[in-house]
A and B are shown apart, each in its own frame.
Chain A
Amino acid sequence: MIDMAKVSKKNMKKETIVKKSRGMTESSAATEPRVVYDDGDDEEEHLNEENLSSEEEQEGEDGASDERKRQKLLEAISALGGKRKNKLGERSEAAVHMSEFTVNADGGGDKVDLSDLIGNIDKTQAVPNKTKNQLKTLQQNEKTIETPLSKQESERIQRNVAFHKVATEVTQWKGIIQQNQKAEQLIFPLNQEPSGPRAMETVVTCWKAQTPLEQEIFSLLSANKQPIHNPILTPVEEATLKAMSFEEAKVRRAELQKARALQSYYEAKSRRERKIKSKKYHKVLNKAKRKDFLKQFETMVKTDPAAALEELNKMELARMKERMSLKHQNSGKWAKSKAIMAKYDEGARKAMQQQLEVNKDLTQKLVTSLNNDQEEEEEEEGGNPEVIPEFVNDAEQGVDSSNPWMRGKLFESPTEREVSDTVDFTEEGPGIMVNTAEEEEDDDEEGTEEERLLREFDHRRRLRQAEEADIVAVITVEHEEENKAAGACVSVLEEEEEENKAAAACVSVLEEDEEENKAAAACVSVLEEEEEEEEELSKFKSVFQGIANTHLDAEVEKAEETADTNHVDTHLEEGLMRIRTLEDVALLSQMESVADQTPVQPLTSPTTENMLSTTKMVGKNSKRKRGIELKQVLTKESKVIQVPLALTVEDKEDSDEMLDQRGLIKEAFAGDNVISDFLKDKRKQEDVGKPKVVDLTLPGWGEWGGMGHKPSRNKRRKFRIRTVPRPPRKDQHLPSVIISEKRNSSISLHQVNSLPSPFVNHTQFESTIRSPIGRMWNTEQTVNKITNPKVVTQMGAIIEPMAKEELMKNKKQVSTGNSSGVEPIKTKPMKHTKKK
């Protein structure tokens, strides 16, 4: 070991020498490395080494093999010590490897330190300070650089990165793919050329103007931006075409349509208004308009004085015209006639006065900030019309003063007063009528207490009248409501009455709700009972309801609708409870259609209590539900009138014909009694379903038996087995229906027995099945829409795979769609119709 240490020391020395020599070489370039060794013993050593190395070559294996063995041994021992460390890749100078045989076990000498390499860098001036500093920090840094990863690992990383890149790239298509999957219709090829004539310039590209004339023409055309090839659009038009996509065009069209519709509505409205003849209406309207206008004008004065001035001028002009004209001056033919009448007729006087008021209104100057006092004076002057007959003036005075003879004034409604009053007159509600009257009284000295009293009376009377009217109105409304509501259950009420009267041996009750709507005629026929079916018949009843609703008023219709919906709802609920598979649906739909087809509508007849409660509950809104509960009406002793099962619509006009018809049917079916057959059938069915009592008593078993010896009651009770009664039949309350509760195997062959996959619940599936798609049940357009195939291909067209452009298009579309907020109506995947 000591020896080894020595050797290492020596090596160190040697290294320093080498360093020195490096410095030397740097300073003096052209010197041989061999000559550099200046220390004597070192040189000897080196020489020895040299010699050795040369000897090694010459001598052969002896020493070398020893050395190797030793090396191996050392390696093996070091390997035993612990886990093998990754050997760092080493770089060493070739000069150090003078001899591989003198290499030490620890290998310290072989390592080249950074300091060895850059030790004398401080001394050289050529190296900049910055690099020196960097090198120093590098020297201090003890860490070694990690070895590069193995090829496999690096490749794996590379692959991973590449895969993720590709995956994200490919994921961009997700939107399009999903869109295509959801699309109602896909038309292939996707990037279809638009059909129709192509633009000339696309077809003819190489043609050029040749003759000078042609050239001149084309230059002119191009200068004016006119289309060069014949029927093609100008660039501007083309640009507009391109600017508007299909969606935009659709939206624009919708807007235009809306605008047009609005316009037409407005036109219609104005036309209608123009046609209104009521003068009062127009008066009120005009006044409102004027008020509005004034309001606007006021705001306009503040915001836009110039325009306001203009308006003012206009108004002034209108006023002038009015003043110039003889309108509203009570000088016309009408006015004259009225003037004659005015002496005797209060109304005429009033009318004339109104006319004058209008005149005053129209000729009055507007009080605005813009006009001055003089004009006001003028206006006052102008206010007094010049051409007025005397009595008119009287009347006017009468208006101003409270003329006791002008009873009309007392009855004037506030609105009228408004009309007649001038601008400064404030509006008054009816509540302060008296006050206003008092004011008026104050104004005019002629007013007397009598008048006041009169007015008070009058006011009170009117109030009272109004109250009464209110009450009456309420009553009438209630009455109407009752009528409406009760209409439906009139029959029921009548039944109750009849029940109260107890009796009713009858009968066939023909009922018509004449006072109400004359719409529904309920024909109740009780059918003949045969001897053996006595108890049966008391239950049985058939209600034929003929519905002749030719002139139903709106209310009735509404009530009917509600009733109908109620009816449907109840049916649906039943369905929900019952329907499990499609077979039930089919049955149901069949039954429904049957019921729809035949006007004969069996009504449910639950027990009387039920009936009462239900009528109480439903009665108000179910108007059409009119039918007579035969159970209540009929008893066993009922006298019977036979009515054939044919539909019996009660029409008064052709009742004779109906009778004939009836007679015919009677004749035709004289032999067979359909109804009793039906009843028999039904009873048979019920009997089959009824629980049977099985008697298992054995006479003589456990007790005495013999002739005339009955088993004891106890025993009989014990051995009589009663099966559990079945749930009530569904047709229990449906007199004219037999519902078989057996499963029909022949039908079940055609029925779906498990819910198909895309559907979540059976109602969903049923609803899809229920709606027909044929043109028998749908309009042409609907059918076309429904039956559109999902994939449409063009004959003879090559369908190219999806192109990258679609992705770009889709992105663009999505962005524009988001910005405009317009949803495409039909989710076509690509907009083929879009401009190309």
Chain B
Amino acid sequence: MKVKVLSRNPDDYVRETKLDIQRVPRNYDPTLHPFEVNREYIRALNATKLERVFAKPFLTSLDGHRDGVNCMAKHTKSLSTLLSGSCDGEVKMWDLTKRECVRTLQAHEGFVRGMVVGYCGTFFYTTGDDKTIKKWKMEAPGYGEEEEPLNTILGKTVFTGLDHHRKDGVFATCGQQVDIWDEQRSTPIRSFTWGVDSFSCVRFNPVETELLASCASDRSIVLYDMRESAPLKKVIMTMRSNTLCWNPMEAYHFTCSNEDYNLYTYDMRYLKRPATVHMDHVSAVLDVDYSPTGKEFVSASFDKTIRIFLKDGGHSREVYHTKRMQHVICVKWSADNKYILSGSDEMNIRLWKANAAEKLGVLAPRERRATNYSEKLKEKYQHHPQVRRIARHRHLPKNIHHQSKELRVMRESRQRKERNVLKHSKPGSVPFVSEREKHVVTVVK
């Protein structure tokens, strides 16, 4: 009699080393695992809930300034170093890992208006209300040495902004005019004027490094090419833009923060209308900075909040606020895409996570896989009302909430009126103006 013995190949169930995961044979027959959509939906729902539970974006606040923080600068080579300048002319250097101030220097009398770190990271420039541009060494002076700038340039007028070229020893300032300076010279190598007498911000394009853009007090944004003798183009908007920031991954996109509570992303080739209007703030937007991946940007507002927008999203995906944070004047996105730094009126610099629910530190492979999976689930089920409701729920301070409601009502009534006017007038006599076109007055060639 032949006896059939049930036997299995040990290769199928014995693992090679102890460190391997136990091999689990799996039958993927869909009939054995029914209700896949429903189960995944529940998982997605739970993932979103957990995300909200773990969303604790605030990491730390760096205090030490004796006046409001007016400007900040990221170090180009070191992630842990941050420079901040306050309204009393003091500049502080921070070590973010230790969360402490490592160096303090009295750079200017009056405001520190602008600050930028050179491309090599060994020096930085500051400019202030005392009409000077000062170049400082990154290292602290040795024992017994005095804190002195490497170089001081005395200007005729106040400089309000400063930016450094990404690769060359060239920097740009703005004040009554936009000046391009060589590091080696004490006079600007080029000055641009175009009928305006005060600029608030100038920024180099990080990709096409010879291009610049500036915000002027006549509500305009002006584009320049460093190689040309004249500016390129100017767009005048309904309200003044405070700052602007170029997208570090897309050469022709920049975003400006406007006084009319909105941010506008422009394609520099088509200035007639912004590519996107980003709404949500309830007060003037004071500063904007792109994430280094170019996918998102963060904005600081007078309404005491920070908001994170997708680069092509009309509304913010995130809002950060704390009870103690006052008007946020400057904001930066750290170069590793993980953190956001905000400097505000009440003398503090705050460190936030860029993704509120993200776990910091090293993830185990299984952990990473689990997070990836839940991220994908959330993305997949994002349109489902329950998921969306949970994912989009944010707590807002009362006054901001009310203001936003008020603004919404105002906007709606305005829209209603426009609609009615359009409806009750002769067809063709009242043109339809889209939201994007509304805010551009004219483009000056």
Residues on A lying within 8 angstroms of B by beta carbon are 155-156, 158-160, 162-163, 165-167, 169-171, 173, 177, 180, 186, 188, 582, 585-586, 589-590, 593-594, 596-597, 749-753, 756, 765, 768-770, 772-779, 783-784, 786-789, 791, 793-804
Contact = CB atoms under 8 A, between A and B. Distances in A.
A163 B362 contact: no
A315 to B, nearest CB: 52
A772 B384 contact: no
A582 B336 CA distance: 40
B269 to A, nearest CB: 5
B292 A188 contact: yes
A769 B380 contact: yes
Contact of A801 (B206, B337, B375): B206
Contacts of B295: 791
B369 A784 contact: yes
B31 A597 contact: yes
Nearest to A786: B376
5 contacts: A589-B37, A752-B385, A772-B37, A773-B380, A802-B249
B8 interface: no
B336 A596 contact: no
Contacts of B393: none
Interface string B180-216: 0000000000000000000000000011110100000
A756 B383 contact: yes
B384 A802 contact: no
A777 B36 contact: yes
Nearest to B381: A769
The 6 tightest CB contacts between A and B, nearest first, are: A801-B248, A801-B206, A799-B292, A593-B34, A772-B36, A173-B251
B77, B208, B223, B249: residue with the most chain A Cβ atoms closer than 10 Å: B249
B28 A779 contact: yes
Given A593-B34, A793-B336, 15 more contacts: A156-B445, A159-B233, A167-B269, A173-B250, A180-B250, A188-B337, A750-B384, A752-B385, A770-B37, A772-B37, A773-B377, A783-B373, A787-B369, A798-B336, A802-B206
A666 to B, nearest CB: 28
B163 to A, nearest CB: 13
Contacts of A749: 385-386
Nearest to B269: A167
Contacts of B30: 596, 777
A773 B38 contact: no
B120 interface: no
B239 interface: no
A159 B232 contact: yes
Contacts of A155: 230
B372 interface: yes
Contacts of B36: 589, 593, 772, 774, 776-777
Contacts of B38: 586, 589-590
A159 B377 CA distance: 51
Given A773-B40, A776-B36, A791 B293 contact: yes
A766 B337 CA distance: 34
B62 interface: no
A800 B290 CA distance: 12
Interface in B363-412: 369, 372-373, 375-377, 380-381, 383-386
B37 to A, nearest CB: 5
A188, A751, A753: residue with the most chain B Cβ atoms closer than 10 Å: A188
Contacts of A586: 37-38
Contact of B251 (A170, A597, A753, A797): A170
B252 A163 contact: no
Nearest to B360: A795
Contacts of A177: 249-251
A773 B41 CA distance: 11
Interface of B: 28, 30-31, 33-41, 43, 76-77, 79, 166, 206-209, 211, 223, 225, 228-233, 248-252, 268-269, 292-295, 335-338, 362, 369, 372-373, 375-377, 380-381, 383-386, 445
Contacts of A186: 293
Contacts, number: 168
B231 A159 contact: yes
A593 B37 CA distance: 10
Contacts of A789: 372, 375
A787 B372 contact: yes
Given A778-B28, A793-B337, A166 B211 contact: yes
B34 A596 contact: yes
Contacts of B292: 188, 798-801
A593 B373 CA distance: 23
Contacts of A800: 292
A765 B336 CA distance: 35
B33 to A, nearest CB: 5
B337 A799 contact: yes
B28 A777 contact: yes
Contact of A797 (B232, B268, B336): B336
A789 B375 CA distance: 8
A783 B370 CA distance: 11
A773 B37 contact: no
B372 A793 contact: no
Contacts of B229: 158
A173 B252 contact: yes
Contacts of B223: 163, 166
A223 to B, nearest CB: 41
B269 A801 contact: no
A163 B445 contact: yes
B430 to A, nearest CB: 29
A314 to B, nearest CB: 50
A752 B384 contact: yes
B10 to A, nearest CB: 21
B43, B76, B373: residue with the most chain A Cβ atoms closer than 10 Å: B373
A784 B366 CA distance: 11
A776 B33 contact: yes
Contacts of B231: 159
A799 B251 contact: no
Contacts of B383: 752, 756, 765
B364 to A, nearest CB: 14
A166 B385 contact: no
B248 A802 contact: yes
Given A773-B380, A787-B375, A789-B372, A162 B228 contact: yes
Nearest to B311: A181
Contacts of A156: 445
A188 B335 CA distance: 11
A774 B230 contact: no
A156 B443 CA distance: 13
A773 B43 CA distance: 11
Contact of B35 (A158, A593, A778): A593
Nearest to B43: A774
Given A773-B373, A787-B376, A802 B251 contact: yes
A170 B373 contact: no
A179 to B, nearest CB: 11
Contacts of A779: 28
A163 B211 CA distance: 11
A660 to B, nearest CB: 26
B248 A772 contact: no
Contacts of A798: 76-77, 79, 292, 335-336
Contact of A802 (B31, B207, B338): B207
A775 B336 CA distance: 31
A800 B292 CA distance: 7
B230 to A, nearest CB: 5
Contacts of A170: 208, 211, 251-252, 268-269
A596 B31 contact: yes
B79 A796 contact: yes
Contacts of B385: 749-753
Nearest to B74: A798
Nearest to B76: A798
A778 B29 CA distance: 10
A750 B40 CA distance: 13
Contacts of A768: 380
Contacts of A802: 206-207, 248-251, 294
